[in-house]
Chains A and B, each alone.
Chain A
Amino acid sequence: MAPVATVSAAIPASRLRGQHGRPDMVSVGTIIWLSSELMFFAALFAAYFTIRAAEVDLWAQETTHLNVPFAAANTTILVLSSFTCQMGVFAAERSAAKGGPKVGRSGSLLQVGEWGMREWFILTYLMGAVFMAGQALEYTELVHAGLTMQSSAYGSMFYLTTGFHGIHVAGGLIAFLLVLGRTYLARRFTHEQAVSAIVVSYYWHFVDVVWIGLFATIYLIM
């Protein structure tokens, strides 16, 4: 009887260790894609300000529905989630001199200092989810106050800008789950997984900065 060999493909070095001396192609591609995303939001900002300049009275009347303190608290949660996300990236990027990448925690869940990438990303995920829940609550209140997508040009712009941003947050949450899934599926932490974590953090910071712009536009400038 022939000995049974387990079949496994060789893992390319670029996945395990990356290519020395070059920015990773996945991160270059992510930045190019984020540039086009930025222009997508530029169109939304331009539309908002253009219609606002033409409908001064409508804006003065409809912005009174906004709950600014609530939105400010929600914004704080999203901005803080960018910091927790970056802590996760620092854990994934930890140098070999300090013990190499730290994927999972080495202490109990309460020892925040011992957290790895997974714990920081799960916390970021939860904060992003709280932001989305807050957004849903805010939409419900505004719809009850009579502000809908169809009610006026202000309603259309409000829901288009915040709604498209919300879809991006949801996409980021899915991306966090997939990055976490990769770390649980593989037995070792590879360069490819570190890059996945880093590009998801790029995306998350981007979505966060866009929200700061939207918050300033919609709730502060009005």
Chain B
Amino acid sequence: MRAEVWIFAICTFFFVLVTPAYWFVTDSSDEGPEWTGTAALVMTALLAAMVTMYLAVQARKLDDRPEDLKDAEIADGAGELGFFPPYSWWPLWCAMTFGVLVLGVIFGWWLFLIGMGLGVLALSGWVFEYYRGVHAH
């Protein structure tokens, strides 16, 4: 995963250089310093730094993946990639109860409280779906 780390490290380096440059260039103009763009650039630098850090930690923890090896075969990447639930109705209930919550902000807090109660059920249903019944383990 070192290739990915390098790509984001180079981006971080770029934004760390560009952000103060942007500030000083706009500061010397007639309109004065430009806060909007500087704030956005600072956060973009932090974004690139965050992804670099995550990838660096993962690269250190894990062995090289098939895509990191020059002599890997396609078949080396085969196998279970992760757990993907075949289907679930719970996201629908979560979305609907979220709708009730938002309407509650408009129409009154009594509706918001009803939405909270339904939301606890819907969210628990979703998060614990594969921990109950035949999936209990």
Contacts and interface: CB of A to CB of B under 8 A. Distances in A.
A and B: bona fide binding partners = yes
A31 B36 contact: no
Contacts of B127: 178, 181-182
A186 B135 CA distance: 10
Contacts of B128: 178, 181-182, 185
Contacts of A12: 80, 83
Contacts of A185: 128, 131-132, 136
A80 interface: no
A13 B81 CA distance: 10
B135 to A, nearest CB: 5
B123 interface: yes
The size bracket of the interface on B is 35 or more
B91 to A, nearest CB: 15
Contacts of B95: none
A115 to B, nearest CB: 24
Interface in A1-50: 7-9, 11-15, 19, 21-27, 31, 34-35, 38-39, 41-43, 45-50
A45 B62 contact: no
Nearest to A46: B39
A68 B93 CA distance: 42
A94 interface: no
A24 B42 CA distance: 29
B35 to A, nearest CB: 4
Contact of B137 (A21, A22, A53, A190): A190
Interface of B: 1, 32-33, 35-40, 42-44, 46-47, 50-51, 54, 58, 62-65, 79-83, 123-124, 127-128, 130-132, 134-137
